[in-house]
Amino acid sequence: LPTTVTDFTERELIARIQARLPPPPDWLLVGIGDDAAVVEPARNRLEVLTADGLVEGVHFDRGFTPPHAIGHRALAVNLSDLAAMGAEPRLALLSLALPPALSCGDFDEMIAGLAALASRQRLHIVGGNLTRSPGPLMIDLTATGSVKRRDVLTRAGARPGDEIYVSGSIGAAAAGLQMLRAKTANTEVEICTRRYLYPEPRVRLGLLLARNRAPSACMDLSDGLADAVHQVAAASGVGMRIDREALPIEPCARDWFDARGSDPVTEAITGGDDYELLFTIRPAYRGRLRAASRHVDVPITRIGVCTKDPAVVIRRRSGDSSSDTPIPRGFRHFA
Amino acid sequence: LPTTVTDFTERELIARIQARLPPPPDWLLVGIGDDAAVVEPARNRLEVLTADGLVEGVHFDRGFTPPHAIGHRALAVNLSDLAAMGAEPRLALLSLALPPALSCGDFDEMIAGLAALASRQRLHIVGGNLTRSPGPLMIDLTATGSVKRRDVLTRAGARPGDEIYVSGSIGAAAAGLQMLRAKTANTEVEICTRRYLYPEPRVRLGLLLARNRAPSACMDLSDGLADAVHQVAAASGVGMRIDREALPIEPCARDWFDARGSDPVTEAITGGDDYELLFTIRPAYRGRLRAASRHVDVPITRIGVCTKDPAVVIRRRSGDSSSDTPIPRGFRHFA
């Protein structure tokens, strides 16, 4: 019989996590093992804090999400929030609720996925909490980062005339999830499924943009591009016009949606799990954007413009004419 | 039909939480509503961070735990960890996984319980995360506090000869939980059940002790006194001898355990959910302890002494003789 998490004490499971962590940074004065962690704040920096979690059956399906990817994604969603604020990742606290039947191997793999991304992004796990779950597996993280006061990126600074940009490509994660559900497997779909399983938070891009003070507003695409443009528009008090033809839809996702008779644009802008950054830049600051983008190997695409008119629309061009259609506000019911 | 949380959007539920929060403090630069919160660190202070959560069916039973108490307890367990480090509470992030059938009234009550304790302890909710749960209700909090570098309390500083103290009384929460399970109800049991449902984290005491630099080590009693003495002894590299007769067992708990034929001492030291502080003080610092204790209205009892001999024992006196029995190490299996 394989061992499960119930074959261990809480302390033994914590030791298995600690074994995968790098040596503690010098700003960590009291780490795992006391009532709480004690850290030295980053000098002359503001602190950025975010919490996000994944629940089995809501945010992932263990049937097709390897434990390693669960650990990766749980941290990636938090890192993406830090990236959207222009913050440099610092530390995280990890809360796990584990079903008793979870195998020890799966537990270790999940921690390995999380620890690998944490190391790569120089974020240190300083504490947390382990408990058993009588239901689904849950993994909750609180992450903090640091940012200079004048570098903070928020959703609220876009002005009419600012240009709208998005990093990377969109739609791949949503297509990847459909592929995983359909149990499709070939080398072509790997681009999309990998994007769903191992999203890459745009931490370095967020940092570079913030340091250049290029964006007037910034947000990540966790709930899809359609949701993000509405959020930034509302927070900034502007409208937005998105260029349908400019959207950087991942080709394999476009093919997948096309083959199923669904509209690739609708799918790509309403699908979630694209942890890209959406940001606005006033035209005079294009040089700053270019300077920042030279140091990252992710494409950046101009997809539209902020408008005085508060409507949030998508523009379709055909020949010399064009027509604008409102982008529906994502009415996401809690259930 | 009563409304449930599924009758609302996530944003509406967040608005219901915000409606119960006090105005944001001036150190909160970006609050709920952006990708992450941005705060100004406390000047010349270290930051203390802790995460703890409650899972329905593991840490509480909704059959006899009112939603208001669930919210209170979820925050109290975190505040107790801050208290044990000598930290002043500052902020928290709240992660909730809500079953779809949760009524809106219960949701509001839970938030009210949490918000009331937060206001009283001057802790501000700066962000978090709401998701649905296909299983149990889960409430996870990360809380931070601030402390001067030289005031930090840890588990590791006790030395042979230091005296061991505990705040308040023990056993009441464990008895209260048994009473709630047994559906016993009268004014007498209210002391115990209230202690289980509404534990009072010893934040002020922890702060005063830290400022006086009275304790050599400190820890909270979340997993019971027997566990705590082992933890502090191990972290400090000392042994401990506890005086059986000195233990401040809550009288109503003693009566309850006696009436059931169980040993009140064993029940009181192994029962969890007493969020009291255990701390050690070198005899020369008794004056510092007295000075700190004058400003709190919680009794403080000397219960034993730290020893060179690494054993952790409980001493029973009868007449002129005494006998020491090892306190079993709490081997808590993960399940």
Do residue B93 and residue A142 have CB atoms under 8 angstroms apart?
yes
Do residue A333 and residue B6 have CB atoms under 8 angstroms apart?
yes
Single-letter amino acid code for the residue at A122: R
Do residue B55 and residue A131 have CB atoms under 8 angstroms apart?
yes
Q: What is the pLDDT along chain B (335 residues), one digit of tens a residue?
A: 679 999 999 889 999 999 999 999 999 999 999 999 999 999 999 999 999 999 999 999 999 999 999 999 999 999 999 999 999 999 999 999 999 999 999 999 999 999 999 999 999 999 999 999 999 999 999 999 999 999 999 999 999 999 999 999 999 999 999 999 998 766 667 889 999 999 999 999 999 999 999 999 999 998 899 999 999 999 999 999 999 999 999 999 999 999 999 999 999 999 989 999 999 999 999 999 999 999 999 999 999 999 999 999 999 998 889 999 999 886 666 75
CA separation, residue B58 to residues B94, B139, B162, B183, B222 (Å): 19, 12, 36, 19, 15
Q: How many residues are given for chain B?
A: 335
The chain-wide mean pLDDT, for chain B, equals 95
Q: Which residue has the tokens 């047994």?
A: B182
Do residue A140 and residue B36 have CB atoms under 8 angstroms apart?
no
What are φ and ψ of residue A126, in 5° steps?
Answer: -105, -5
pLDDT tens sequence across B203-216: 999 999 999 999 99
CB A214 within 8 A of CB A150: no
Cβ-in-10-Å burial (0-12, 13-18, 19+) of B325 comes to exposed
Instruction: Enter the pTM of the model.
Output: 0.96
Q: Residue B189's pLDDT is what?
A: 72
Do residue B53 and residue A235 have CB atoms under 8 angstroms apart?
no
Q: Residue B335's pLDDT is what?
A: 57
- Mutual orientation of helices B251-259 and B187-197 as an angle, nearest 10°? 110
Interface mutation vs chain B, best among A11, A27, A34, A46, most B CBs within 10 Å:
A34
Q: Which of B84, B85, B134 sits opposite A135 (nearest CB)?
A: B134
Do residue A59 and residue B131 have CB atoms under 8 angstroms apart?
yes
Under 8 Å CB-to-CB from A297, ≥6 apart: which residues?
none
pLDDT tens sequence across A124-150: 999 999 999 999 999 999 999 999 999
Interface mutation vs chain B, best among A5, A35, A140, most B CBs within 10 Å:
A35
Residue A183: other Cβ atoms inside 10 A: 8
A93: chain B residues, CB-CB within 8 Å: 49-51, 142
Q: Tell me the shortest Cα–Cα distance from B234 to chain A, in angstroms.
A: 11
Do residue B51 and residue A219 have CB atoms under 8 angstroms apart?
no
Encoding tokens for residue A302? 């101009």
Among A54, A33, A143, smallest CA distance to A97 is for A54
3-state secondary structure A104-159: HHHHHHHHHHHHHHHHHCCCEEEEEEEEECCCCCEEEEEEEEEECHHHCCCCCCCC
C-alpha to C-alpha distance for B191 and B171, rounded to whole angstroms:
11
Q: Residue A333's pLDDT is what?
A: 63
- Mutual orientation of helices A187-197 and A67-84 as an angle, nearest 10°? 60
Cβ-in-10-Å burial (0-12, 13-18, 19+) of B185 comes to exposed
Q: Tell me the shortest Cα–Cα distance from B90 to chain A, in angstroms.
A: 13
CA separation, residue A280 to residues A82, A150, A205, A289, B17 (Å): 17, 17, 14, 10, 30
Q: Residue A319's pLDDT is what?
A: 87
B5: chain A residues, CB-CB within 8 Å: 334
CA separation, residue A254 to residues A165, A166, A249, A300, B287 (Å): 20, 17, 7, 19, 75
A13: chain B residues, CB-CB within 8 Å: 334
Do residue B35 and residue A50 have CB atoms under 8 angstroms apart?
yes
- Which residue stretches of chain A have pLDDT < 70? 1, 185-188, 330-333, 335
pLDDT tens sequence across A180-213: 999 876 666 788 999 999 999 999 999 999 999 9
3-state secondary structure A251-309: HHHHHHHHHCCCCHHHHHHHCCCCCCEEEEECHHHHHHHHHHHCCCCCCEEEEEEEECC
ipTM over 0.90: yes
Residue A273 falls in which region: left (phi positive, over 0), alpha (psi -120 to 50) or beta: left
Do residue A39 and residue B46 have CB atoms under 8 angstroms apart?
yes
Q: Residue A1's pLDDT is what?
A: 66
Single-letter amino acid code for the residue at B326: P
Radius of gyration, alpha carbons of chain B: 21
A135: chain B residues, CB-CB within 8 Å: 57, 133-136
Q: Where are the beta strands (DSSP E) in chain B?
A: 28-30, 37-39, 46-55, 88-98, 124-132, 138-147, 163-167, 217-220, 239-243, 277-281, 300-307, 312-318, 321-326
Q: Which of B7, B41, B95 sits opposite A47 (nearest CB)?
A: B41
Number of CB pairs, chain A paired with chain B, less than 8 A apart? 244
Do residue B36 and residue A333 have CB atoms under 8 angstroms apart?
no
Element (H, E) at A317: strand A312-318
Could you tell me the sign of the dihedral formed by the alpha carbons of B93, B94, B97, B100, in that order? negative
SS3 B129: strand
Q: Residue A318's pLDDT is what?
A: 87
What are φ and ψ of residue A170, in 5° steps?
Answer: -120, 160
